[in-house]
Amino acid sequence: MATNVATTNYDPKTATVNALNEIGYKIFLDRYATKDRRKGAMEVGDTVVVCTNLETSQREIGTITKIADEQITVRLRVDGSEVMRTDEHVDRPVETDPAQMHARLAKGMAAVEPTQKLRKFWEAEFRAALTDWKFIPGGRILAGGGTKQALTYYNCYVLPSPRDSRDGIIDVLRSMNEVFSRGGGVGINLSSLRPRYDHVKGVNGRSSGAVSWGSLYSFATGLIEQGGSRRGALMLILNVWHPDIEDFIVSKTKMGKITNANISVGITDDFMTAAREDKEWQLVFPDRDDPDYDEAWDGNLDTWKAAGKKVKVYRTIRAKELWEQMIDSAWASAEPGLFFMDRYNAMSPSAYFAPILCTNPCGEQGLPEWGVCNLGAVNFAKFVKDEYQAQTAHTTEEAIQGVKWDELRQTIRAATRFLDNVIDATPYFFEENRKQQLSERRVGLNTMGLAEMMINLGIRYGSPEGNQFIDALYEFFTVESYRMSTELAAEKGSFPQFKAAKHLKTGFIQTLPEEIRATIKERGLRNVTLNTQAPNGTIGTMVGTSTGIEPFYYWTYQRKSRLGMHEETVEVYERWQATHPGQEKPDYFVTAMDLAPEEHIGVQAAIQRWIDSSISKTCNVPNDYTREQVGELYRLMYDLGCKGGTVYRDGSRDVQVLNLTESNDSNALAKQGQGSAASALATAVGITPRKRPDTMRGTTYKVPTAYGSMYLTVNDDEQGQPFELFTALGKTGGFFAAKTEAISRLASLALRAGVKIEEVIDELKGIRGPSPLWTENGMVLSVPDAIAQVLTRHIQRGQGELALEFKDGTSEPPLVTGPGDVLAGAPGIPPVRATADGTGAQLASGGTAVATAEKVRLADLGHAPACPNCGGTLTFREGCMDCTSCGYSKCA
């Protein structure tokens, strides 16, 4: 790799062009800047990215201060401390100025132009669009574009549905792992696989079903994540007519079979009608006695029926009942999402030659088999006139006047050509991907910074006026994209599968302005699709704007460093506060949780009107939202023309806990004093753990974890109280075996020293790990949490059900319990529920002892999924999990 990049004086703290905040600069250096990894290439004074936590792979920016004995000492920018690492844990970025990356990308994508004149012209145009983050290509393009590395520029792939055979299933697994190894995500539709318990002729056995094979793909994804990639992302879809659909719906909640994938149900128009009218619904599958089954069946039931082939009805249920099962699960865990498959194919410009099979993991790209995501985003926040900077509220017409339309047009044109050139510049690792993409030249130009733009223009996101503005903005965005594609077709030729008459009859193309349709008929079209809407979690966080089309999730957030947590504020809000000290913020400063759910969906529908692919968006709702309300939101998505979506009920993926304090307990101070005295006495005289008898009686439990089954033995003393515990997980001498043994030894020591078992449980429960796991008994957050759950079961084994139970999709919003001995709802303690703003509130009072809930956000208590990179809390938005603390995204 070339390393002779010119040095610059770029400083992210003072830069006015290509400015980045601290987290943005770290993301740029760590993920996207080219690196020089040659042995001995580093020198004192070099800016580097160093791994500060070898277990979680957390990385920080620093400067080399010393190199000695193969150890490199690095002073960290974040807090000035120093760490010492060997060179395999230190990367030296060749590019330390974003302008260097922009120059590489512009030159690399212009290189495929046919003449030197065009290469020179478009290199300058591309660089102008990239400068100051007006256009940000997808992460794979940022990392690989213009380098000589064998890196794909595509983020995600849809693989063919597996052939209904062992070889077919393994072939897809092999392709999936190849994609993951190169940092891509995968979508797979499982509907081609025979139902559970169906006969398997070759071995005279029974099939384990589509869900079981989906769990295999999920398991493989988890292995790759645990192996250090962190970029394996998987979407699994099963169509609503499949006989295994009911098992699939609960596969992540009750069954616990699929833990490392997003899941969605492929919904047909017939089903939506049947559910609305409370009609019966047949669960069917092709007749496998058909002589053409092995060769002809590919998962597409419509083409199977159209060929005159028979289907077998496995059972008939009420469509409304199946709909309610989906809604129950979505209410409980935000999954499955719904993918309106008939709607998608009816609107798809590729419907006449490449039907849509599945979506990518985040849901913004419905793709045919072997289709790819070719992504880049226009940053709307950069196209607001200087006089419009969140200073006052404006009408729709006034907001429209505040947009830099000419600059936006120029950027859209350059971005469209840039992404079309990516198709010719990228390496291809599957011949099938190359053939498919070159035949249709699919482009996914999308946006970010919409919410920041609307704040600066003074128009409220989600309001009717705001949606009118959005309609005008995205019409312009789409029309200019399509206009540029027609010019490219006239210059370079239409995509090979283009047939003008058929293309103009497809659903989305018929909705375009007549001017564009006439131009397509005259000139042709370079790309089968032009626009989509990706989450853009990592690149949006890098450039410091609102990600995708979402509003900001909150105005302040926590950053984690080696010195602890510190609070930061969203820049646009911080600027407004500086000029309006002490004033209440205007109503156009809205967060995701400020919006009514219907407003979320209204924005999505307004944008979907102008997007030929689909949209990755999450509809956030309060914790007390009912199943019926969640169901109505999904119906609203369908009725307003959306192609799919996800409803996320606040806290529905978390074990929810509130801290309770006894404010009116007359014995509280006495108890506190007793505890202090006991602590002082123990410190003064020392504590000698009880000796272990030669023979003890105990119970062994088997509990699933994300790292395999753990076996935990609890031995009791003569009074029947826990005395010691032993754990086994993984191979002796392995990392997880050592970790669990250490925990069990320390817990045993505490028990033998007289520490109450409840105290041990309180210390272990709720600890998060990078891979939470759904089980039949609830969520296991980590190995320590699994141990705490077993100990709780052990001491309550004669008292019925586990008190702190993770509710499934059949329960009401859960009562929230405290971390100590007192349970909400116990005698004298009023019940507490999670409230709409993510905090706890007392429902009732009574008795002499009154518990009050401290008003703290549930996510702040540490029970949301943990970021595998830095350990911060992951946020669920735009159909994806991402971390505002370090920029990690499951969909990056």
Considering only CA atoms, which of 635, 632, 639, 602 is closest in space to residue 617? 602
Domain extent at residue 239: 157-347
Residue that is last in its domain, among 331, 347, 363: 347
> Is residue 167 a part of any domain in this protein?
yes
Confidence of residue 762 (pLDDT cuts 50, 70, 90): confident
Q: Which residues have a Cβ under 8 Å from the Cβ of 101 and sit 6 or more positions away? A: 28, 32, 33, 34, 95, 142
Q: Is 364 a catalytic site residue?
A: yes
- The pLDDT assigned to 458 comes to 96
User: Which residue matches tokens 């969605």?
Assistant: 264
Residue that is last in its domain, among 347, 376, 393: 347
Confidence of residue 773 (pLDDT cuts 50, 70, 90): confident
d(CA 412, CA 469): 18
> Is residue 79 a part of any domain in this protein?
no
- Given the residues 60, 225, 335, 364, the one annotated as active site: 364
SS3 label, residue 374: coil
**Cα dihedral across residues 354, 357, 360, 362: positive or negative:** positive
d(CA 615, CA 645): 8
Q: How far is CA 500 from the centre of its chain?
A: 38
Considering only CA atoms, which of 429, 349, 368 is closest in space to residue 154? 429
Q: Which residues have a Cβ under 8 Å from the Cβ of 707 and sit 6 or more positions away? A: 226, 729, 730, 736, 771, 783
Confidence of residue 776 (pLDDT cuts 50, 70, 90): low
Burial label, 317 (beta-carbon count in 10 A; 0-12, 13-18, 19+): middle
> Is residue 98 a part of any domain in this protein?
no
Give the mean pLDDT of 653-679: 35
- Number of C-beta neighbours around residue 871 at 10 A: 19
pLDDT above 90 for 252:
no
> Is residue 627 a part of any domain in this protein?
no
Cα dist from 843 to 386, 806, 825, 834, 852, whole Å = 49, 20, 10, 10, 10
Give the mean pLDDT of 877-881: 62
User: Which residue matches tokens 């120059």?
Assistant: 103
- The pLDDT assigned to 431 comes to 96
Q: Give residue-wise pLDDT tens across range 496-508.
A: 999 999 999 999 9
Q: Is 619 a catalytic site residue?
A: no
- Please list the residues that pair with 817 across neighbouring strands: 657
pLDDT above 90 for 445:
yes
Residue that is last in its domain, among 347, 380, 413: 347
Q: Domains in the chain: how many in total? A: 2
> Is residue 512 a part of any domain in this protein?
no
Give the single-character DSSP code of 29.
I
> Is residue 476 a part of any domain in this protein?
no
d(CA 482, CA 416): 9
- The pLDDT assigned to 446 comes to 98
d(CA 679, CA 697): 31
- Given the residues 360, 446, 467, 715, the one annotated as active site: 360
Q: Is 21 a catalytic site residue?
A: no
d(CA 809, CA 652): 10
Q: Structure pTM?
A: 0.76
d(CA 605, CA 387): 30
Burial label, 628 (beta-carbon count in 10 A; 0-12, 13-18, 19+): exposed
Q: Helix H segments across 580-687? A: 597-608, 627-639, 668-685
> Is residue 264 a part of any domain in this protein?
yes
Name the phi and psi angles at 754, rounded to 5.
100, 5
Name the phi and psi angles at 311, rounded to 5.
-120, 155
CA angle centred on 709, ends 705 and 710, rounded to 5°: 85
Q: Give residue-wise pLDDT tens across range 586-637.
A: 999 999 889 999 999 999 999 999 999 999 888 888 888 999 999 999 999 9
Give the mean pLDDT of 672-696: 53
Average pLDDT of every residue of the chain: 83
Give the mean pLDDT of 450-467: 97
Which has more pLDDT, 675 or 806? Answer: 675
Which has more pLDDT, 127 or 233? Answer: 127
User: Which residue matches tokens 């919006």?
Assistant: 595
DSSP letters for 538-554: HHHHHHTS--TTPPBS-
Considering only CA atoms, which of 770, 544, 537, 561 is closest in space to residue 60? 561
Give the single-character DSSP code of 63.
E
> Is residue 64 a part of any domain in this protein?
no
- Given the residues 51, 362, 870, 880, the one annotated as active site: 362
CATH number at residue 306: 3.20.70.20
